[in-house]
Amino acid sequence: MRNNSSCNDILEAVGRTPMVRLDKVANQVAGIVYGKCEFMNPGGSVKDRIGLAMVEAAEREGVLKTGGVIVEATSGNTGVALALVAARRGYRCIFTMPDKMSREKVQLLESFGAEVVITPTDVRPDHPDHYTVKAESIADQTPGAVLANQFYNEANPKAHYETTGPEVWEQTEGRVTHFLAGAGTGGTISGVGKYLKEQNSSVKIIGVDPKGSVLKNFFDTGEMIEGRPYKVEGLGSDKIPGSLDMDIVDGWITVNDAQAFQMTRRLARDEGLFVGGSSGLLVHAAVELAKELDSNAVVVTILCDWGEHYMTKVYDDEWMRSNGFPLEDEVLGRL
């Protein structure tokens, strides 16, 4: 839980997020399912932890200097985290972002003074217009620029090893049996998973992959397939991120867009938790897993970001219908 002390600046408010029992959406399970409220970070997402950590690492290494430029490929939340730190410390920011991301995320980045370069979603990972390749190009061509490189930056999983993992362990009083996370970069699941397994090697670390991502298939078969587009933002990948330690993960669960978005809306209506689609994806997987476990199970997952980023998408009935996703009332037969 957060303490009641004052902060010297907004960056001191990063982390120490509460954990909430999900007793309505998980009312058919014998054990306990918790969601860790990472949307309560000051930038509205779990990425605040790594944004601060990556900037501080670059400062310590001397590669980010006064007046410098932070460049990053982002689905939105890491960009917000970096922009938040940059605003406080006086850096300029340039971010590349796939065009499937919500307009709200773009506007939020621009509100912090960042420049946003939109790239096509449906291109191969080695294409010059892929958002990660574009970010590398911008960093190379911009004087004083540093590529945050969240997908391969060691400060990413380290931040979760040093902060998120200990918080989960403390908040469950060491009773956590299963931890579920997605892998956009792999930092959360790798860092938290490493810490929890050091405390208790029997804790199961479960990755959750959107249908269309390549990660579960690679874990199961060791073979790379070509990814397919999906609507959930921020999780999954069309390649294996460098920050992802597959050896930490015990297994993967696949969740489709419809399941993710229906649970997202249920979390708001039934639990009072206004979160994004990635949180719905993770909670759906956590609840389905918990149904198979006994009363000793303590399942923890991440509520990744704030729902206001998705008002024109998952929380918009017309957007849901136009993309072929039935509304939760229709699924539950309440119309």
**Catalytic positions, written as ranges:** 47
Contact 267, 280 (CB under 8 A): yes
Full DSSP string of 242-279: TT--GGG--EEEEE-HHHHHHHHHHIIIII---B-HHH
Burial-class residue 130 by CB neighbours within 10 Å (0-12, 13-18, 19+).
buried
Q: How far apart are CA 230 and CA 23, in angstroms?
A: 29
Per-residue CA distances from 44 to 76, 130, 273, 280, 304 (Å) = 11, 26, 13, 16, 8
Q: Measuring CA to CA, which residue among 307, 270, 281, 242 is closest to residue 45? A: 307
- Beta-bridge partners for 161: none
Which residues, 6 or more positions from 286, have their beta carbon under 8 angstroms from its beta carbon?
22, 26, 33, 35, 178, 180, 299, 300, 301
Contact 70, 86 (CB under 8 A): yes
Per-residue CA distances from 321 to 167, 262, 269 (Å) = 39, 12, 19
First to last CA, the chain: 39
Q: How far apart are CA 322 and CA 33, in angstroms?
A: 32
Q: How far apart are CA 220 and CA 198, in angstroms?
A: 24
Contact 234, 305 (CB under 8 A): yes
Identify the helix (H) or strand (E) that includes residue 330.
Answer: helix 328-332
Identify the helix (H) or strand (E) that includes residue 29.
Answer: none
Q: Are strands 145-147 and 69-73 parallel, antiparallel or unpaired?
A: parallel
